[in-house]
Amino acid sequence: MLLSHGGEPSRTAGPVARWTVEQVLALAPDDASRKAGSKLGSAGPWSGGGCDGSDAVWGLCKGSGSKPYRTVVDLTGPAYKCSCPSRKFPCKHALGLLLVWASDESALPPGEAPDWAGEWLTGRRERSAGKAEKTERPAADGTSAAGPADPEAARRRAERRAERITGGAQELEERLADLLRGGLAAADQPGYGLWEEAAARMVDAQAPGLAARVRELGAIAASGPGWPVRLLEECALLHLLDSAWLGIDRLPEPLAATVRTRVGLTAPAEGPPVRDHWLVLAQYDTPDGKIVARRIWLHGRETGRTALLLSFGAAGRSPALALPVGGTIDAEITPYPGAGQLRAELGRQFGVPSPAGTPPPGGTAATAIGAYGHALREDPWLDAWPVTLRDVIPVPSGDGWQLADAAGGAALPVAPAALSRPGLWRLVALSGGAPVTVFGACGHRGFDPFATWSAGVGDDAACGTVPLI
Amino acid sequence: MSGTITPAPSAPVPWEELVTTALLGTDRRPAGASGGPAGLLDAAALHTVRRRAGLLPAAPAARPEPAPADPRPALPPAARRRLAQLLADRSAAGGPAGRRGTAPDLTELIPQWLATANRHGFRAPASLLPALLDAARARTDLRPQALAFAGPRGLWLAGLNPEWKFALRGSSGGSSLPDPTEPESVARLWEEGLFAERIALLAAVRAHDPAEALVLLATTWSTERAEDRLMFLDSLRTGLSPVDEAFLEQALSDRSRNVRSTAAELLSALPESALAGRMASRALSCVSPDLTGDGATVVVEAPHECDASMEHDGVVTVPPSGRGERSWWLGQLVEATPLATWPARFSGRTPREIVGLPVADDWAEELHAAWCRATVRQRDPEWARALLGTPSVPPSNGPGTASLAERSKLLGILPPAERAGWVAGFIAAHGLSEAFQILGVCPTPWAEPLGRAVVDALDIARDAGSYPWSFSGVMGLAERCLNPAEADRLEVLTTTPDEPEDASPGANGYWSEAFQRLVSTLRLRAAMDSELIPA
């Protein structure tokens, strides 16, 4: 296993505190790895371990074979290398090594890396230094960055794809019109098949964004009471997106970029890089067809900006990018184009992640729901908007929960999706009926909590960001 | 639902109209939409975005009472991380359990961790309470320690989630339990409470004033259902004293047979009770020294009938299938007879001497088994010692009983150090194959010489060439119960020596793995303990 993701570290000096066990476990690609890693998280199976300041840790892990596995973790990425055949990333040995490092200060004494670890670490450092130079050079001599080999051919390809999408959008419009002419009441009768077929047609039309929306329509008809209203809403928004694409020439550029993204045409991240100390607010995976999508939410300490890092893992593999929740990274991010677009790409990192961070300042329930409404002006297809609620109390309400302003008479219902997650109970436990700060997504379905900070003193304040998802 | 987000007022487009048209179809209901389906969708899109953009917060529901304060000190950071790891390991769904390998089994260490944390009086970290309650929900044996550790905030939290309602049961169950000294609220809960609440209430009152509990129970006794009467009666076990005799004597005439036999059992544990006296006089007529010789033999004449008075005193008439009714009755008489009766009967002999007497006509097994049950019931260490005999004597030749279950009950009566010493002697003489059950009653960590005896026996088993999984039960116990300080001494056993010719193939490798796991578990336990030492 030898993988490293886009984060390109550069060196800084200075000791950095260890990560917490929770932060290490948050790096695990799945539950099985978490369990397997935990089993290796004691000094028992490890030998020859050590650490290099706080930049790297390494160790030999006794496995079932005669030769122990060689495991190295570059903490600045973090990036992992292990001689085991696992395709999990990070593998259980890397997780176990990090757990040993996190929980036992004496288990990995500082020292010189052995050759097998040193070579890889040196290689990484040289490569990242080289990359850093490369990215700086074009700006220096004024030539444009390396583009496609044949711009003319690329333009023709893009045109053909746009035509296909236009065809797809038109077809979808006809299907929607047919549906509305016959009435939604009939929609739960043909069943899922109709939508699946339409979604497949949109995939053919190279419009994955449209395809995903169509597929979701299929699930609404079976989603319980009130489905006709939800189905009409989503049909209307799909119609809005179709119309926007078909008339994209007449749209102002920021909105046009949003429409292109929504349809499924992702432009490369090209905004000017933003450097900040980014607090990792949350990291969670959602299955998306055959691939797994990983979302990592960041909040910049100086810029006050919230950013979303989106990465994907193909069948059976977890996404390569993993950051410790609750940690702070000094890094550059490059935003993707589009109005109200939060997605960004992680660029250069400076130094190793620090294990602590201050929560975003946050606001009231009213400002949160207001921020969502405001964001809809830029992107009417938004389901939710990331916000931080300050001083709210989780309150049971009927079958569900609310987050109520500690001072004042306003509350946001907790989104149905969050009600069945164990994180909700962590939030309630941490609050104990007292105000907490909560980061999450606020939208028309309610508030979906992702992370929380307790205002209280003592153990739970010391543990910083508590992940809820 | 939890207070849906309310839309802003002013919705000029009649949304309900749009929905109705959409449901029926524009072909059937063209009037509702100008411009056909596209016009309808345009209007619906406008409405949807407008509605979403104009959402307002909901009115807050009533706040829960804040969790009561927990004055216990917070866990040291390292211990906090350890607990997170132990609980994460438990909840992580693994595949089918394979070979155990050399890594410690973290789940098995949770009880010990909780016991140590509670001994030091630490407060549970709030964010780990849900995982802790989930663990206690899945494993009833964890509950007492887990709930004590979870403390008032844990109970507060459990009150909000029906999945954790188990936490509200039981004696500590409740914040809702009234003060036992407030007769009115006690009486009200006793009259109106649920069964579990009433059991908890009775236990609380019993702990406060045993006689008061009897009074409470007597107020409703005749109207309780038979199964409830049985449970209530059973809760009198704690704090049993001669004060209870009159009530129990009355229960001997209960309609329910189970209630009658429980009452008889409780009475027989009171040596001064009238029932114990009646049983003793019956037993004395059955068991006597041989008067024809020098009195050095026990003669048994089992009862010939079970009369109404015996039945009234809780003797069960019909034996289980396969047992003779006379020996069945005899067993019950001897079991309910105060042990102090016997030295007087056998001219002042000690229990050990009495147990050592030969018994005529093959009654020995029956009589000794009954004495064992009486000893367990009356918790008499002197008799327990006599019936256990010398540990090195093979069980089948000794006095008392060969049953390991009975022996571990007898051991439970002895003081802890004596218990460990006896088991060590047993293992040294007979090895580990029968030791699992009696090891289970030894207090942990195992005191010397017990720990050493177990390790030596494991070493001998390895040299004998068998596979370690024949001893996996004892190994698991050793991981949890050996004194962590033994780890260094065990280190030498983790190497893989050359295999003797007659050994099972590969056994040595597995043994070395098993000992590695033992050592690493002991080290982990030592680390866990040191992390929990208050700063």
Q: What is the pLDDT of residue B363?
A: 86
How many angstroms from the chain centroid is the CA of residue B278?
Answer: 35
Q: Considering the domain boundaries, does residue B163 fall inside one? A: no
pLDDT beyond 50 at B191 = yes
Look at phi and psi of residue A346 and say left if phi exceeds 0, alpha if psi is from -120 to 50, else beta: beta
Q: Considering the domain boundaries, does residue B174 fall inside one? A: no
Instruction: Give the mean pLDDT of B67-77.
Output: 89
CB distance B343 to B352 below 8 Å: no
Q: What is the pLDDT of residue A270?
A: 82
Mutate to test the interface with A, among B21, B27, B47, B48 (most CBs of A within 10 A): B48
Q: Both B254 and B381 in a single domain? A: no
Q: Minimum mean pLDDT among A11-25, A52-66, B111-125: which range? A: A11-25
Measure the CA angle with vertex A415, ends A412 and A416; round to 5°. 140
Binning chain A into helix, strand and coil, the percentages to the nearest 5 are 40, 25, 35
Question: Cis peptide before A78, with omega less than 30 degrees from 0?
Answer: yes
**Of residues B59 and B3, which shows the higher confidence score?**
B59
Is residue B272 very low, low, confident or very high in pLDDT (cuts 50, 70, 90)? confident
Q: How far apart are CA A376 and CA A370, in angstroms?
A: 10
Q: Give me the helices (H) in A68-150, please.
A: 92-103, 115-141
Q: Both B420 and B517 in a single domain? A: yes
Instruction: Give the mean pLDDT of B430-440.
Output: 83
Q: Do B153 and A429 touch (CB under 8 A)?
A: yes
Is residue A237 very low, low, confident or very high in pLDDT (cuts 50, 70, 90)? very high
Q: Both B339 and B441 in a single domain? A: no
Q: Both B449 and B529 in a single domain? A: yes
Q: Both B384 and B320 in a single domain? A: yes
Q: Which of B396, B380, B388 is nearest to B342 (CA)?
A: B380
Q: Which of A227, A376, A212, A224 is nearest to A288 (CA)?
A: A212
Q: Considering the domain boundaries, does residue B62 fall inside one? A: no
Q: With contacts defined as CB-CB under 8 Å, which chain A residues touch B89?
A: 35, 38-39
pLDDT beyond 90 at A320 = no
Measure the CA angle with vertex B476, ends B471 and B480; round to 5°. 145
Q: Considering the domain boundaries, does residue B486 fall inside one? A: yes
Is residue A168 very low, low, confident or very high in pLDDT (cuts 50, 70, 90)? very high
**Of residues A144 and B134, which shows the higher confidence score?**
B134
**Of residues A349 and A66, which shows the higher confidence score?**
A349
Q: Considering the domain boundaries, does residue B342 fall inside one? A: yes
Taking the C-alpha atoms of A193, A199, A202 and A208 in order, what is their torsion angle to the nearest 10 degrees?
-170
Instruction: Give the mean pLDDT of A119-147.
Output: 59
Q: What is the pLDDT of residue A426?
A: 93
For A18-97, strand residue ranges (E) read: 46-52, 56-61, 69-74, 79-82
**Of residues B333 and A55, which shows the higher confidence score?**
B333
Q: How far apart are CA A422 and CA A425, in angstroms?
A: 6
- Which of B22, B53, B516 has the CB atom closest to A376's CB atom? B53
Q: Is A459 on the interface with B (CB under 8 A)?
A: yes
Beta bridge partners of B288: B299
Q: With contacts defined as CB-CB under 8 Å, which chain A residues touch B78?
A: 103
For A246-383, strand residue ranges (E) read: 274-288, 291-300, 306-313, 328-335, 343-350
CB distance A350 to A10 below 8 Å: yes
Question: Cis peptide before B66, with omega less than 30 degrees from 0?
Answer: no
Which of helix, strand or coil describes residue B181?
Answer: coil
Q: What are phi and psi of B174, to 5 degrees?
A: -175, 135
Show the domain range for B224.
Answer: 183-270
Q: How far apart are CA A325 and CA A306, in angstroms?
A: 15
For chain A, the average pLDDT equals 83
Highest mean pLDDT among A28-42, B52-66, B207-221, B441-455: B52-66
Look at phi and psi of residue B471 and say left if phi exceeds 0, alpha if psi is from -120 to 50, else beta: alpha
Q: What is the DSSP letter of B435?
A: T
- Domain's final residue, options B408, B432, B457: B408
CB distance B390 to B398 below 8 Å: yes
Provide the number of structural domains found in chain B: 4
Token pair 């188990």 is at which residue?
Answer: B166
Q: Both B200 and B281 in a single domain? A: no
Q: Do B127 and A103 touch (CB under 8 A)?
A: no
**Of residues A353 and B74, which shows the higher confidence score?**
B74
The answer to whether domain A365-467 has CATH 3.30.70 is no
Question: How far B370 CA lies from chain A's nearest CA (Å)?
Answer: 48
Q: Considering the domain boundaries, does residue B200 fall inside one? A: yes
pLDDT beyond 60 at B219 = yes
- Domain's final residue, options B384, B408, B432: B408
Q: What is the pLDDT of residue B171?
A: 44
Q: What is the per-residue DSSP string for B282-337? A: HHHHHEEE-TTTTS-SEEE---S---HHHHHTT--SSPPTTS-HHHHHHHHHHHTS
pLDDT beyond 60 at A460 = no
Q: What is the pLDDT of residues A185-212, one digit of tens each?
A: 877 665 556 778 888 888 888 888 999 8
Instruction: Give the mean pLDDT of B172-200.
Output: 74
Q: What is the DSSP letter of A146?
A: P
Contact map slice: A 26-65 vs B, CB within 8 A: 31-32, 34-36, 38-45, 62, 64
Q: What is the pLDDT of residue A169?
A: 93
Residue in chain A closest to B494 (alpha carbons) equals A44
Q: What is the pLDDT of residues B382-395, one digit of tens each?
A: 999 988 888 887 76
Q: Both B356 and B321 in a single domain? A: yes
Q: How far apart are CA A354 and CA A18, in angstroms?
A: 8
Q: What are phi and psi of B156, to 5 degrees?
A: -60, -45
Instruction: Give the mean pLDDT of A317-337.
Output: 86
Q: How far apart are CA B185 and CA B285, in angstroms?
A: 51
Q: Do A411 and B45 touch (CB under 8 A)?
A: no
Instruction: Give the mean pLDDT of A422-434.
Output: 92
Q: What is the pLDDT of residue B1?
A: 40
Q: Which of B257, B273, B298 is nearest to B377 (CA)?
A: B273
**Of residues B47 and A143, which shows the higher confidence score?**
B47
Q: Minimum mean pLDDT among A28-42, A397-411, B302-316, B429-443: which range? A: A28-42
Return all residues near B475 (Cβ < 8 A) that are at least 6 apart. B458, B468, B514, B517, B518
Mutate to test the interface with A, among B41, B128, B153 (most CBs of A within 10 A): B41
Q: Both B276 and B345 in a single domain? A: yes
Question: How far B391 CA lies from chain A's nearest CA (Å)?
Answer: 37
Provide Rg for chain B, Cα atoms: 33
Q: What is the pLDDT of residue B321?
A: 85
Mutate to test the interface with B, among A233, A364, A399 (most CBs of B within 10 A): A233
Q: What is the pLDDT of residue B122?
A: 93
Is residue B172 very low, low, confident or very high in pLDDT (cuts 50, 70, 90)? very low
Number of H helices, E strands in chain A: 13, 17
The number of residues in chain A equals 469
pLDDT beyond 80 at B26 = yes
Q: Considering the domain boundaries, does residue B118 fall inside one? A: no
Q: Is A377 on the interface with B (CB under 8 A)?
A: yes
Q: Minimum mean pLDDT among A149-163, B249-263, B506-520: which range? A: B506-520
**Of residues B98 and A257, which shows the higher confidence score?**
A257
Q: Both B498 and B395 in a single domain? A: no
Q: Considering the domain boundaries, does residue B165 fall inside one? A: no
Is residue A287 very low, low, confident or very high in pLDDT (cuts 50, 70, 90)? confident
Residue in chain A closest to B102 (alpha carbons) equals A45
Look at phi and psi of residue B19 and say left if phi exceeds 0, alpha if psi is from -120 to 50, else beta: alpha
pLDDT beyond 70 at A54 = no
- Domain's final residue, options B247, B270, B293: B270
- Which of A25, A365, A433 has the CB atom closest to B65's CB atom? A433
Q: What is the pLDDT of residue A122?
A: 83
Break chain A into its structural domains and give their ranges: 2-133, 158-263, 274-350, 365-467
Question: How far B168 CA lies from chain A's nearest CA (Å)?
Answer: 16
Q: Do B5 and A44 touch (CB under 8 A)?
A: no
Q: Both B532 and B461 in a single domain? A: yes
